[in-house]
Every structure is written in C-alpha cells, then in structure tokens.
Amino acid sequence: MALPPPSTTSASVSESGLYDSARRPPPFVEEFLALLRYRDLVAQLILRNVKARYKRSILGVAWTMINPLLTMLVLTLVFSAVFRFPTRQYALYVLSGLLAWNFFAQTTVAAMGDLIWSGGLIGRIYLPKSAFAVSAIGTGLVNLLLALVPFAIIAVAVGGPIRPAFLLLPIPILCLAGFALGIGLALSTAAVYFQDVMPMYEILLTAWLYLTPVIYPIDLVPPAVQAVLRWNPMTYLVGLFRSVVYDGQAPRPDALLAAVGISLVTLLAGWWVFSRRAREFAYHV
C-alpha cells in the first residue's frame, strides 16, 4: 500500500522559516504580520462560529434576524404607550440603534470569550492570539449583515424610502468594527489574567447601553445628561450608523471625523496593549 507523500509547500510559521527567539520583531508588528499569514485561520474561525451556531438550532439563521425584531417590538410597544413616541418612526429608530449596539456588545463579549475558551489551544500550538478577537468581529459582521435584511424590509414596510445614503453603510460599520476590536482586544488581555473581567464587563454593558442614545433620542434627555453622553464614544458611533440607515443622509464631516478618530485611536491602543502581552498569554492560560 502506497502512502501519499507529504507535500513540500512551505511558508507558514515564517516566510524564511527561521525562528530566533532573541530577534523577534516588536510585538506590535509581529502580531500583525502573524495575523496576515494566518488570515485563512481567521476565515475558518468565522466559518466555525457561524456554522456551529446554526447547526444545532432549528431556526438557525432566522434567530439573528428575529432577535432584534422582538426587542424592537417590545420597546416600541412600551415607549409608544408610555412616552407617546410616534410609533412608526420609533420602531425604525430603536431597531437601527439596537443593530449597532448589539454588534458592539456581542463582538466585544465574544472576543473575550473566544480567547478564554481557546486557552487550551494557545498553550499548545503557536498562533496569533489576535485571530480570536478578529474572527469574533468577523462573525459579528456576518450577523449584522443578516440582521440588516429584516431592517430593510421593515423600513420599506413603514414607508421609509430607500435612499442612496444606504450605500455609505460600510463607513459606520467599519468605524464600529474598529472600535469594537480595540475594546475587545483590551478586554481579552485583562480577561486572560483575571476571571472576573467577563462578568464585570457584562454588568458594565447594561449601564453603558442606557448611557448611549439607543432606545431614546438624545434630544429628549436633559442638557446635563446630554453633556455626559458626549463623553461616551458609542454615542458618536451609534449616531453615525443611524444617520445613514435611519436619517438616510450622508454623515456630517464633523460626525464622521469624530467617529473615525475614536475608532482608530481605540483600535491602535487596544492592539498595542494586546500585542505587548500576547507573548505571555501561554504562561497564564
């Protein structure tokens, strides 16, 4: 019986194949180069996350779409009854806010969770640790795109016109993704060292949601509270997302600048913190 010969294709761990522990590139750069080499791993992890989620549930993909709709329904009923918000507009307003918020909340929690759950892997084989946070964001993007389908249907159903501004949607989504990745990386760094970061963050998220104009319009709160909300980066990111999908307008330059700035600074800071510590992770998991 002939055994198939192993292939000779190379170039995986390092392009040159040389590993010198004393001459590794700076962590900030090394982690990025490693992630580029392992980009197919990121794709496989996203695929795994999406498939594993849907293989075991009957409704499958539908859950991603139904979940925000149900929340929207409840909130719309409550707010139009209690606060007498105009129902139709409010439904779209809250749904657009929830889509952006859920993306952020789910991906940051997943970035942390995936790194912790894969602890066994990190302690056994070399791979760029940022692959888990990046694939968590990627999975979130897939879910967000799926959830945008029912949003578009409802938008048409309640009589909102489809505007050309929708084509600008990648901009706010990329800003959100960059911000979520930065926060996710910083959080997962902390979570490697301390078990209680995850539950603490989940509590914080609840408070954060109410400090972000997701379910209420910002003009409706007292000026003092508005001043507080201006210190919340998510205010700008949710605002940018909403200006495109809800207002149907191209974002104002100052709003765009603020969102891009917040996103970039957070991403770079998160990457710096994470990559500086990533070499130690294997000692702690």
Partner 1 sequence: MFEAAATERIEAPAAKPPAISVENLSVCFRVPHERYASLKEFAIRWAQGRLTYVDFWALREVDFEVGWGEIFGIVGPNGAGKTTLLKTIAGVLHPMRGRVVVRGERAPLLELGAGFHPELTGRENVYLYGTLLGNTRRELDARFRSIVDFAELWEFIDAPLRTYSTGMGARLAFAVATSRLAPVLLIDEVLAVGDVRFQERCRGRMDEFRRQGACILFVSHDPALVMDLCQRAVWLESGRVRALGPAHEVVEQYVAASG
Binding residues (CB under 8 A) for partner 1: these are 2-14, 17-22, 24, 37-38, 40-41, 43-45, 47-48, 51-52, 55-56, 118, 120-127, 190, 193-197, 200, 279-280, 282-283
Nearest distance from C-beta of residue 61 to partner 1, angstroms: 16
Task: Quote the CA–CA distance of 141 and 172 in Å, as a whole number.
Answer: 12
Nearest distance from C-beta of residue 92 to partner 1, angstroms: 36
Task: Quote the CA–CA distance of 234 and 176 in Å, as a whole number.
Answer: 9
**Alpha-carbon 29 to chain mean position:** 23
Q: Is the Cβ–Cβ distance between 84 and 151 less than 8 Å?
A: no
Give the nearer residue to partner 1 in terms of CB position, either 52 or 70: 52
Of 199, 210, 32, 59, nearest in space to 129 by CA? 32
Give the nearer residue to partner 1 in terms of CB position, either 230 or 284: 284
Nearest distance from C-beta of residue 41 to partner 1, angstroms: 4
Nearest distance from C-beta of residue 55 to partner 1, angstroms: 5
Work out the angle between the directed axes of helices 253-278 and 170-193 (0-180°, nearest 10). 30
Give the nearer residue to partner 1 in terms of CB position, either 135 or 243: 135
Give the nearer residue to partner 1 in terms of CB position, either 19 or 210: 19
Neighbouring residues of 99: CB distance < 8 A, sequence distance ≥ 6: 68, 144, 147, 148, 151, 241, 245
